[in-house]
Structure 1
Amino acid sequence: MALADRYDHQPGVHCGAAALRNVTAHYGLTYSEAACFGIGGGPAFVLYEDPDEPWVRVRTSPTWLERAFFERTGIPHLFREGDDFETAWDNATARVDDGDPVILFLDPAPLDYVPDDPSHVPPHTAVMIGYDDERVHLSDGAAESTVEISRETLAAAWSDDRYLPLRNEYLVVTRGRATADDTDAAAAGLRQAATYMLDPLQVKRDARGPGEEGVPALQSFADYLGAWPDLPEPARPVSAARRSIDEHGEGAAFRSLYADALAELGRSTGLGQALADRMERVADEWRTVAGLLDEILAAEDPGPSRFEEAGSLVGDIADREEAVFETLADELGEVRTD
């Protein structure tokens, strides 16, 4: 099997941020997972309409995080999508032959090593580090060690039309050096997160879905939760929402990871520790919501009041997140749409 030499797999909290940390480390660059998440513009909140279900799905991190990270750090890279499988395969494997790990954007549903995650809204990020005629060797932050999948599984995961289109997308570093100032990159990522959560239409990036985004989506999600008892199978959307909040085991809609990003990147951008502490308290509230959803799932008949309680908690979170991001925007000055 051809392998990208000296690649060091490390698991992480967020599949994309972990991939960024691991890939940049391969080129001798030092970014923590939290810094990658913050520079990339995390976190997010997006509602997706699923044509096969009478309820919305939730994503709590940006679909553009990896591309935005490379753009802001100025690390030369190539992003490509839309090729047929054979062309994308030939291009990606040629880069592995040259020793370059290749970031892939996948539908997680066909990936049987991703545990119990059918509700994970694509794309899921993994890194191709090796291959042969029949198998692909992946570094995935959601897994403790590297994994192998068949070429057929890759083909099924790499292109999909479920409710969020994927077209054999990949990203590869073309020169392993940062050309932008790290402080500028950090400030740009933090600014975009504030802009996106407060006024998502001002951010010229595609969340790949027609649903609501940012704090307005959080407020709508609170209303959805309160109405779910009227659905024929309310446990299904509750279970999906629970897994979205706890995606890859973080347990707090990636708000704890973002608190770490605010603490680390804040030291170079003039932010105080208080803002990171406030976000960590928001993460604790997300954990409370996750626990309440667990109780609803375990109850034989939870009753509408438990759903209303969960919706009220999410509404409170929306208010708290709005206040945090307003403070972030104020402290960083002019809000940009990059």
Structure 2
Amino acid sequence: MLTGFAHETGNHCGSTSLRDVSDFNEWGLSEPLCFGIGAGLGFSYIEREDSPTRQFVGRSPWLETGFYDHLGITFEERDGQPFDDAWTDIRTHLDAGRPVLLFVDIYYLEYFDSDVHFSPHVVVAVGHEDDTVLLADSEFDDVQRLPLDQLADSLDSDHGFFGPIRNHWLAPTGEEPTRPVANAIHDGIALTTKTMLEPESFSFSDASTSTGTHGLAGMRAFGRDLPDWQALPDATWCTRFAYQNVEKRGTGGGAFRGLFAPFLDEAAERTDLVTAELAAEAHEIASDWSDIGQSLKRAGLADEEDEAKAAYEEAGEQVLAVADREEELYRTLRDRL
């Protein structure tokens, strides 16, 4: 195991992993700062052939790379290698004393004991012994030992939110940030606002079996569709999964808005870009999303059709309202850049 590596659980897998790497390298960055610097906030509404046929995710696909880019930390990233080649490179980084981020499907992690595919889940490889890899996972206090055959399975999955994962890993090669944290905060906010306001500017590598609508457009598509979810053949599972993607599954609460708001708190202390009032508005938005989660929960648990119908309609109205509120926040932030 890497000498001096310490791990604690956190709110979200990606930002917790980045915070662990930051702590290991003594960069002094909290989990919310890691999330915001990496422009982790996003929104994608996805229609799929497989169940759940409707789902969404409240984070962007570039949190981890954005973090290193905005801090000016060099890194090596690979995606699509054969497993043996990927493991050779991962092990080389570990032997050189560098932690490695791995993008995995929890379904294949024995210690997770999940019967649901969910990826990418981000963990940190922190060592290897014999035929096992040592992993720091945001959901567990202790470092986990995973046999290499399970690692191989977990790194290769068709079930990613943004498309299949194929032995995707990322390792920092730079030892220190080369850009000031204030500059990295600026770039993180700039990318976040563009992600939400201009999603057409980006490529979101969706799987061939799904179509996605992103940013505020995706949020509004989600809100408009919610009243019709009751008629879906897998409505119960879609609704349960949607609630989990608001309040559970490593979102930090409020569909990741519960991580973005404390990031803005810290940004307000470090830069003139963010005011306390804007940070307070972000906290209110996170609270609105938690209310949406409760409406989804009521819809999924309702015994009567009329009760479910009312809950779906309420959730849809809430999503459309919070989309307007988010748009105003992002436009205000962009105008201050």
TM-score surpassing 0.5?
yes
Contact 1:57 1:119 in 2 (8 A): no
Q: In structure 2, how many angstroms separate the alpha carbons of the residues matched to 1:304 and 1:115?
A: 34
Q: In structure 1, how many angstroms separate the alpha carbons of the residues matched to 2:125 and 2:168?
A: 12
Give the one of 12, 22, 33 matched to 1:24. Answer: 22
Structure 1 runs (4+) deviating above 6 angstroms are none
Q: In structure 2, how many angstroms separate the alpha carbons of the residues matched to 1:310 and 1:107?
A: 29
Give 1:196 deviation, angstroms: 1.0
1:289 alignment counterpart: 292
Give 1:29 deviation, angstroms: 1.1
1:272 alignment counterpart: 275
Whether 1:124 and 2:130 are equivalent positions in the alignment is no
Q: In structure 2, how many angstroms separate the alpha carbons of the residues matched to 1:148 and 1:54?
A: 30
Q: In structure 1, how many angstroms separate the alpha carbons of the residues matched to 2:311 and 2:170?
A: 43
Give 1:111 deviation, angstroms: 2.5
2:39 alignment counterpart: 41
Greater alpha carbon shift after TM alignment, 186-195 vs 161-170: 161-170
Please give the TM-score of this superposition, normalised by the length of structure 1: 0.92
Please list every run of 5 or more consecutive structure 1 residues that lacks an aligned counterpart in the other structure: 333-338
Distance change (3 Å), C-alpha of 1:226 and 1:268: same
1:335 alignment counterpart: none
Greater alpha carbon shift after TM alignment, 35-44 vs 138-147: 138-147
1:230 alignment counterpart: 231
Distance change (3 Å), C-alpha of 1:98 and 1:63: same
Secondary structure in 2 aligned to 1:285? Answer: helix
1:192 alignment counterpart: 191
Distance change (3 Å), C-alpha of 1:200 and 1:117: farther
Contact 2:107 2:113 in 1 (8 A): no
Distance change (3 Å), C-alpha of 1:113 and 1:238: farther
Q: In structure 2, how many angstroms separate the alpha carbons of the residues matched to 1:279 and 1:223?
A: 23
Aligned Cα RMSD in Å? 1.8
Please give the TM-score of this superposition, normalised by the length of structure 2: 0.92
Distance change (3 Å), C-alpha of 1:224 and 1:55: farther
Secondary structure in 2 aligned to 1:126? Answer: strand
Aligned length, in residue pairs? 328
Contact 1:4 1:98 in 2 (8 A): no
Contact 1:64 1:207 in 2 (8 A): no
Distance change (3 Å), C-alpha of 1:85 and 1:54: closer
Contact 1:75 1:177 in 2 (8 A): yes
CA distances 1:141-192 after superposition (whole Å, capped 9, x unpaired)? 1223222222122111101223521121111111211111221111011011
Secondary structure in 1 aligned to 2:45? Answer: strand
Give 1:115 deviation, angstroms: 6.9
Secondary structure in 2 aligned to 1:7? Answer: coil
Secondary structure in 1 aligned to 2:213? Answer: coil
Give the one of 281, 284, 303 matched to 1:300. Answer: 303
Contact 1:63 1:123 in 2 (8 A): no
Greater alpha carbon shift after TM alignment, 104-113 vs 57-66: 104-113
Q: In structure 2, how many angstroms separate the alpha carbons of the residues matched to 1:154 and 1:193?
A: 32
Whether 1:255 and 2:257 are equivalent positions in the alignment is yes
Distance change (3 Å), C-alpha of 1:54 and 1:224: farther
Secondary structure in 1 aligned to 2:288? Answer: helix
Whether 1:215 and 2:213 are equivalent positions in the alignment is no
Q: In structure 2, how many angstroms separate the alpha carbons of the residues matched to 1:249 and 1:123?
A: 13
Secondary structure in 2 aligned to 1:307? Answer: helix
Give 1:116 deviation, angstroms: 5.6
Q: In structure 2, how many angstroms separate the alpha carbons of the residues matched to 1:145 and 1:4?
A: 14
> Following superposition of structure 1 onto structure 2, how do residues 62-101 of structure 1 map, counting pairs within 5 Å?
62-101=60-99
Contact 1:251 1:290 in 2 (8 A): no
Whether 1:321 and 2:326 are equivalent positions in the alignment is yes
Return the letter of the residue paired with 1:199. E
Contact 1:111 1:157 in 2 (8 A): yes
Secondary structure in 1 aligned to 2:241? Answer: helix
Greater alpha carbon shift after TM alignment, 49-58 vs 261-270: 49-58
CA distances 1:89-143 after superposition (whole Å, capped 9, x unpaired)? 11111221222111111122223444768364x2111001122233221101122
Q: In structure 2, how many angstroms separate the alpha carbons of the residues matched to 1:114 and 1:133?
A: 21
Q: In structure 2, how many angstroms separate the alpha carbons of the residues matched to 1:327 and 1:175?
A: 34
Secondary structure in 2 aligned to 1:104? Answer: strand
Contact 2:73 2:175 in 1 (8 A): yes
Give 1:331 deviation, angstroms: 1.6
- Percent identity reads 30
Contact 2:110 2:150 in 1 (8 A): no
Please list every run of 5 or more consecutive structure 2 residues that lacks an aligned counterpart in the other structure: none
Q: In structure 2, how many angstroms separate the alpha carbons of the residues matched to 1:109 and 1:19?
A: 19
Whether 1:160 and 2:157 are equivalent positions in the alignment is yes
1:176 alignment counterpart: 175
1:111 alignment counterpart: 109
